[in-house]
Each structure stands twice: as structure tokens, then as C-alpha cells.
Amino acid sequence: MDVEKIRKDFPILAKKYHGKTLAYLDNAASSQKPVQVVDAVRDFYLNSYANVHRGSYDLSVEATEAYEKARKRVGKHFGAKEKETIFTRNTTESLNALAYSLSDSIGEDDAIVVTEMDHHSNLVPWQQLCLRKKAELHFVEVDGNGELADFDFPSNTALFAFPHVSNVLGTVNDVEKWAKKAKKEGALVVLDGAAGAPHIPLNVHRSGVDFYAFSGHKMLGPMGSGVLWGKQELLEKMPPFLYGGSMITNVEKGKSEWADLPHKFEAGTPDAGGAIGLAKAIDYLESVGFSRILEHEHALVKKTLDLFAEIGLDVYGSPSKRTGIVSFNIRNAHAHDIGMVLGGDAIAVRAGVHCSQVLVKKLGVPATVRASYYLYNTESEVERLADSVRKAKEVFG
């Protein structure tokens, strides 16, 4: 993998702050975009733009075809049929839509199971659903290595929601194993793929899950491009979440009928440009190769852990399978202060609770600093990170 060549596709990486080149190590929050993706969106707006599914004229047909082609391309990446590939704004919207649409099938005698490592967007919608329905909410705990601990699913488990990858620790969960375990109790299985999809391609049908959600912006795609996938037979039975244009076939004064999948779940004008950009982003990632990217992240993580061990830092989690995420702290220093020192050195990391307060509370700290890598990061950026952290340790440690 030629990282220097890849970096040329991301002009933003040459930006300088305070005389230093930006080291963008906040990929778990969002990734940068290659020119190829921006060009694809630009081309759509400049050459093929009209509203989709609405016109009797060529341009609208072209726009519709471009949007539907993007759906096919994106769906193919994770083994989904077009009918099952619903475009949303992001993971959060996908999961909330799901929680609303499934709410009629959750009752007082049911339990929903989530994990301590879930992002707020895969925890709060289920927590609130449980509160509304007086259902039980259970948590799979996170162990000392930062992995999911053994868990016996209650026999009344109606739904299990978990992340493919922890956005704080980088832990990669065994999707098939957990899906199978929850299915034994007859649960619906929801996978939050936000932190996993950018690094590990999932085949939804092999995975054993019923629903899968991810965000395009974390995998080189535009902001505003997200996906909700669900098994066709389930989606067909579920009520729509949003009502309005594009999701309807017949409307009378007293009743309405829904369009076929996937349109039933795509009310209103979609972010077609976002979907087209996401399709291009997936082209780009596949051409580089997901397994090569992950290997590259592992090399960067190893170097980080070696350097951090020399410095003497608190590093959180040592999962057996991980993506390019390292969460850490300088003992006695506040994560936000570390983040500011790094920021002054043009190193972009995230300091905070990473929308995962349950997990960060379990770690026993108010916040952590998180460095997260992707295909365009380099060993020299890791060295700069370590140097800057060393400096912060002298000041605050």
C-alpha cells in the first residue's frame, strides 16, 4: 500500500497549522475525503442533478439512475439487495428509525440487551424505548481487556443491539458469535457498524444479524450519507418511520398505502449526492483493499503502543482484535489539556467521552484522549503524536 500516493488524493492532509503539517488522527470521529469522492458529488450536481423518482424528463431519469446505481453499489459491498438498502443521514438516524419502527413489537414482558461499549446512538434509542414500553434493559459488560464479557441472554430478550467495533477502544466484536447467541433466545439482532464499516467489510447475510447501520462520513464518504440495512421479510412487516413524499403509492383522505422497499423508509427528497459520494468512497476503499488498510492500521497501533509504553501512559483496553484506535491518558492530567497541547502541535485527536459515557465511566476517568488511524496516516505522524504527548506529560503529568 503506497501511503504517500494515497495522501495525494487527500489535499487537506497537506494543510499546515502553526507551521506544522496537520496530523489528522481523528478518523473515528470522521474521515477526510479523497478528490475522487468530491469529484463524484460535484459531477452529480453539475451534470446529472434533478430530483429523483419524479420526472418525465431525461435529466430526472439520469439523476434517479445515478442514485439507484449508488444504492446498488453500496448494497453490493455488504452483500445486500437493493430493496434492503435504505439511505439515511447517518448511523444515528438509522438506529432511531429502527427503534421507532420496531416499538410496536416491544412490550412490558420483553427485554432489550445492549452493551457497555455502545455509542450513545445505539444505547439511548433502546433505553428510551424500554422506558416508554416498561421493558427491561440489560447490559453486556466490558471486561478488563476491553472486550465483551460472557453473557447469558434472558429468555425474554426481544432485541440485542451491539457495535461491530468499539469507537473508544477499537475492539472488534465477533459478530457471528454474538448474533448466534442472541438468536437462540429469539431476539432480533441490531449491529451498529459505524466504527466497523470503515475498516472491516461485513457480509450481512453471513453475519447473522437482522439490521445493520453505518455512516458514510467515517469511510471517506460525504457527511449526510448513511445506511440502514434490514432483512427484507422484516422490513416488509415494519411500519415506516417518516411519512410524506416518495414513500407512498396511494393516498386518500382517510388512508394511505406505502411504496415498496426501500422507498417505504425513504420519505422526502434524499441526499442523492451523498449516496453517490458514498458509492465512490467504497470504490476507493475496495481498490486500496480493506485488509491492507487494516494491516496498515495495526502497524500504526503497534508503534503507538510501543512508544506509549516508553513514555508511561495509561492505555485503555488490549483487545485481541482491534482497528486503528488507541485511547489513553497521562496519569493525573485531564484529557482536554492533553488534547489542547496536541492541537497546538497540529495533531488532531479527540479528547472527551466519545459519546460513550457508560464505557468511559467504567474506565474510571472523566475522559480519554483517542488517536484513531486510517489508510492515509503515517509512522511519522505516530512519532509526532508521541513527542507531543511526551511534552504534555512534562507539563501536566
Partner 1 sequence: MDYKPDDEGAANMYHAMYKEHILDHYRHPRNSGTMEKPDATARGISKACGDFIDVFLRIKDNQLEDIKYDSIGCAISIASASILSEHIKGKPLDYIMKMTQDDILKLMNVQLSAAKMHCTLPALEATQGAIEIYRKGHATPADAGQPV
What are the residue numbers of the active site? 355
Q: How many binding residues for ligand PLP (CB under 6 A)?
A: 14
Picking from 277, 200, 249, the residue whose alpha carbon sits closest to that of residue 44 is 277
Of 261, 264, 227, the closest CA to residue 75 belongs to 227
Pairing type for strands 325-329 and 314-316 reads: antiparallel
99 vs 392, beta carbon nearer ligand PLP:
99
151 binds partner 1 (CB under 8 A): no
The answer to whether 168 and 359 have CB atoms below 8 angstroms apart is yes
> Which parts of 285-314 interact with ligand PLP (CB under 6 A)?
none
* Site for partner 1 contains 387 (CB under 8 A): no
- Shortest reach from residue 347's CB to partner 1, in Å: 10
Residues 191-220 touching ligand PLP, rule: CB under 6 A, are 192, 194-195, 215
How many chain residues are in contact with partner 1, going by CB under 8 A?
19
Binding partner selected for residue 352 from partner 1, ligand PLP, none, CB under the kind-specific 5 to 8 Å limit: partner 1
Contact pattern for ligand PLP over residues 103 through 132, marking x by CB under 6 A: ----------------x-xx----------
Q: Which residues pair with 85 in a beta bridge?
A: 229
CB of 336 to partner 1, least distance (A): 4
* Three-state secondary structure readout of the chain: CCHHHHHHCCHHHHCEECCEECEECECCCCCCCCHHHHHHHHHHHHHCCCCCCCCCCHHHHHHHHHHHHHHHHHHHHCCCCHHHEEEECCHHHHHHHHHHHCHHHCCCCCEEEEECCCCHHHCHHHHHHHHHHCCEEEEECECCCCCECCCCCCCCEEEEEEECECCCCCEECCHHHHHHHHHCCCCEEEEECCCCCCCCCCCHHHHCCCEEEEEHHHHCCCCCCEEEEECHHHHHHCCCCCCCCCCEEEECCCCEEECCCCHHHCCCCCCHHHHHHHHHHHHHHHHHCHHHHHHHHHHHHHHHHHHHHHHCCEEECCCCCECCEEEEECCCCCHHHHHHHHHHCCEECEEECCCCHHHHHHHCCCCEEEEECCCCCCHHHHHHHHHHHHHHHHHHC
Q: Which stretch binds partner 1 (CB under 8 A): 56-64, 100-108, 196-204, 339-347?
A: 339-347
Cβ-based nearer residue to ligand PLP, 142 or 392? 142
Contacted entry of partner 1, ligand PLP, none for residue 163, CB cut-off 5 to 8 Å set by kind: ligand PLP
Does residue number 96 form part of the binding site for ligand PLP (CB under 6 A)? Answer: no
167 binds, among ligand PLP, partner 1, none (CB under 5 to 8 A by kind): ligand PLP
Choose from partner 1, ligand PLP, none: what does 285 bind? Cβ within 5-8 Å by kind.
none
* Cβ nearer to partner 1, comparing 40 with 168: 168
Tell me which of ligand PLP, partner 1, none is bound by residue 327, counting a contact when its beta carbon lies within the kind-specific cut-off of 5 to 8 angstroms: none
Cell readout for 351 is 479528547
Of 2, 18, 46, 237, the one binding partner 1 by CB under 8 A: 18
Question: Is the CB of residue 245 less than 8 Å from the CB of residue 51?
Answer: no
Minimum Å gap between C-beta 10 and partner 1 is 17
19 lies in the binding site for partner 1 (CB under 8 A):
yes
Candidate list 7, 352, 362, 383; residue touching partner 1; CB under 8 A:
352
Q: How far is the CB of 121 from ligand PLP (least distance, A)?
A: 4
Among 64, 167, 207, 327, binds ligand PLP (CB under 6 A): 167
Minimum distance of ligand PLP from residue 119's CB (angstroms): 3
Positions in the binding site for partner 1 (CB under 8 A):
15-19, 334, 336-337, 340-341, 343-344, 352-353, 357, 366-367, 395-396
Per CB under 6 A, residues contacting ligand PLP are 28, 90-92, 119, 121-122, 163, 167, 192, 194-195, 215, 355
